[in-house]
Amino acid sequence: MALFYGLLSLARYWTAPVNTQANIDLNPSALPAYALFSVARIAVAYFLSLAVSVIYGYVAANSAKAERLMIPLLDTLQSIPVLCFLPGVMISMVALFPTTQLGVELGSILLIFTGQVWNMAFSVYSSLKSIPREMLEAARLYRLSWWQKLVQLELPHMAIGLIWNSMMSVAGGWFALMVCEMFVLGNRDLRLPGLGSYLQTASNAGATRSIVWGLIAMVAVIILIDQLVWRPIIAWSEKFKFEQVEASESPGSPVLNFLRRSKLLSRIASVSVAPAREALTLYFARGDAVPQAAHHERNLAKWTSWILAALATGGVLYAVGKMGLMLTSLARSDLRDIFWGAGATFLRIELTLVLAALWTIPVGVFIGLRPKLSAIAQPMAQIAASIPAPALFPIVLLLLIRVGGGLGIASIVLLLLGTQWYILFNVIAGASAIPSDLKEVCETFHLSKIQRWRKLILPAIFPYLITGFVTASGGAWNASIIAEYFRFRNQTFSITGLGAVISRATDAGNFPVLLGATIVISAMVVTVNRLIWRRLYTLASTRFKLEFT
């Protein structure tokens, strides 16, 4: 009944007349309704991200031609701050649904989606590239259709990494709420009821008591979701671990045990899920058995791809021409601010990644190798990763100003709060996926700790670690819009950086500067991807691939 009431409330609110300047009530009694709205937005954005991630990562991993374009594009898009997407997304959604609240809601959901999807897609791609060669050969020998290969090999192999990156994505959704539920676009103040707008309003008003109540409500929701959703999924995913002996320790979940004992769910699965799975398997198997139809479909797909490529090329050329005209209005001072800001932000991000790696790698390995400890530490890490850093930033900033640190050190602290969790969660996923038989080999040969790190741990977590660094770098570019430009009690604190340039341009509705800053970010990210990340991914899929032949 509570679920039904919640869905009814959401439907009634989303179909109501548009109200872009809702009054945010700081009374704690409003928090349950705000929590419902925020959870609904994050859930819709997550399922959209999950579908896009699996499709995008699958295509990039199985097509060499597509991979050369899709992976640098993915790295570029994840590094572009949310505020760069904000004007186009919100204007488009409001134009599609001008009379109802649904347009603004969809805009907010898509902005949360842009903060969730990237690391999940990278995880899918990295997992598929690291499938052991003997498993792929077995799939070919048994002549599995693409559907059977996906269901029986590829999805299970990507499960552990995707689940941990899903937790990080949801945590990133909570982190981005303060930007996605309340923002300024030119002379319009757009806000939606939710925990993010509640915390942003409380932060702007300097209402410490309301900030505490908002954080308590957010932590309570995160813990509830962890126990009802993530812990059961983590325990369930243990069966996808690639090992030849049973692990001595494995995570458990009372909720999962309850669901497994449920006769009702078993009955529902037997009459719905099992027949659907069998029908899909037979359908795609028959498709493989008709070479003439397959040949016809390939020709149709080829012509369709050529037509789409031609249309996309025309659209790109048109957009480039329009962007060139817009960029001609940039003054020399604007260009100087953009390039100086890009250099300063890049140095802060690299320093942040080094500082994050110093503690996340050893701690993540320590947690990942101990399932019982992971059951305790993972919810704590998820809570820490989910708490929006802007809600804590006033406290951090005031403390550092008092001790003489200022915004320069505070920006590094905020970047750490927004990026270190990507590395930590990926390292935990990599360490937890190490086969038990390899750990037993280390015990048998009495390898020292240094030898275990060199011979087993670092090679095993290397693909996950690269995914963590890539997504952390993108998260740092996103967090820079808050770390370098912050409002508190009607005061604005800013520091030299591209994030501050983007924030000022968004507030003023200065689209040429916003476009110029986005182009500079894209150029820097593509360069780093070509010189560093692409080579490291190649190394991860060749030298550090888990194989027994």
Within a domain: 467: yes
| Position 303 in a domain | no
Is there a single domain that holds both residue 183 and residue 209? Answer: yes
Q: Kindly indicate the confidence band of residue 478, based on its pLDDT and cuts at 50, 70 and 90.
A: confident
Write down the pLDDT at residue 290. Answer: 46
Alpha-carbon distance values, 549 to 122, 135, 204, 235, 376 (Å): 26, 10, 60, 29, 37
Asked if residue 113 and residue 28 are part of one domain, the reply reads yes
Torsion of CA 158, 237, 40, 46, to 10 degrees: -10
Token pair belonging to 297:
């479909």
Please spell the DSSP secondary structure of 6-66, one letter per residue: HHHHHHHHHTSBP-TB-----SGGGHHHHHHHHHHHHHHHHHHHHHHHHHHHHHHHH-HHH
My answer on whether 488 and 534 are in the same domain is: yes
Q: Tens digit of pLDDT for each residue in 497-542?
A: 888 888 888 777 777 888 888 888 888 887 887 788 888 888 887 7
Query: Is position 403 within any domain?
Result: yes
Number of domains in the chain: 2
Residues counted in the chain: 549
> pLDDT value at position 279?
82
- Element at 500 (helix H, strand E): helix 498-508
| Mean local confidence (pLDDT), 26-32 | 86
Kindly report, residue by residue over 153-188, the tens digit of the pLDDT.
899 988 888 988 888 888 777 777 767 777 665 556
- The CB density around residue 257, as the number of other CB atoms within 10 Å, is 12
- Per-residue pLDDT at 446: 84
Report which of residues 178 and 359 the model is more confident about: 359
Whether the predicted model's global pTM rises above the 0.75 cut: no
Looking at the domain assignment, is residue 90 inside a domain?
A: yes
Q: For the CA atoms of 432, 247, 448, 545, what is the dihedral angle to 10 degrees? A: -50
* CA-to-CA separations, 83 to 20, 42, 185, 190, 294, in angstroms, rounded: 18, 18, 10, 13, 44
User: Which pLDDT tens digit goes with each residue over 324-334?
Assistant: 887 888 888 88
Query: Is residue 450 exposed (0-12), middle (13-18) or buried (19+ Cβ within 10 Å)?
Result: exposed
* Residue in 525, 529, 526, 501 with CA at minimum distance from that of residue 515: 501
Q: Tell me, yes or no, whether 40 and 166 share the same domain.
A: yes
Residue 466 CB-density burial (10 A; 0-12 exposed, 13-18 middle, 19+ buried): buried
What average pLDDT score do residues 200-206 get? Answer: 76
Tell whether the model's pLDDT for residue 152 goes beyond 60.
Answer: yes
Is residue 190 one of the residues assigned to a domain? yes
310, part of any domain:
no
Is residue 316 assigned to a domain?
no
Helix or strand run (H / E) with residue 119: helix 102-129
The Cβ-side half-sphere exposure at 491, using a 13 Å CA radius, reads 7
Residue 476 CA to its chain's centroid (Å):
12
Q: What is the CATH number of the domain that holds 126?
A: 1.10.3720.10
Tell me: do 387 and 287 sit in the same domain: no
- 418 with 286, same domain? no
Does pLDDT of 124 surpass 70? yes
Query: Are residues 229 and 265 both part of a single domain?
Result: no
User: Do residues 180 and 266 share a domain?
Assistant: no
Domain interval for residue 278: 250-295
Same domain membership, residue 286 and residue 148: no
Q: Is the dihedral of CA 99, 100, 103, 108 positive or negative?
A: positive
In this structure, is residue 321 part of a structural domain?
Answer: no
Q: Are residues 40 and 178 in the same domain?
A: yes
H helix intervals, 181-273: 195-205, 208-225, 231-236, 254-261, 263-268
User: Do 363 and 440 fall into the same domain?
Assistant: yes
Phi, psi (deg, nearest 5) at residue 183: -155, 165
> Are both 102 and 137 inside the same structural domain?
yes
Number of Cα atoms under 13 Å in the Cβ half of residue 27: 5
CA 293 to chain centre: 39
By the 8 A CB rule, do 254 and 231 touch?
no
Task: Kindly state the tokens that stand for 325.
Answer: 């005209």
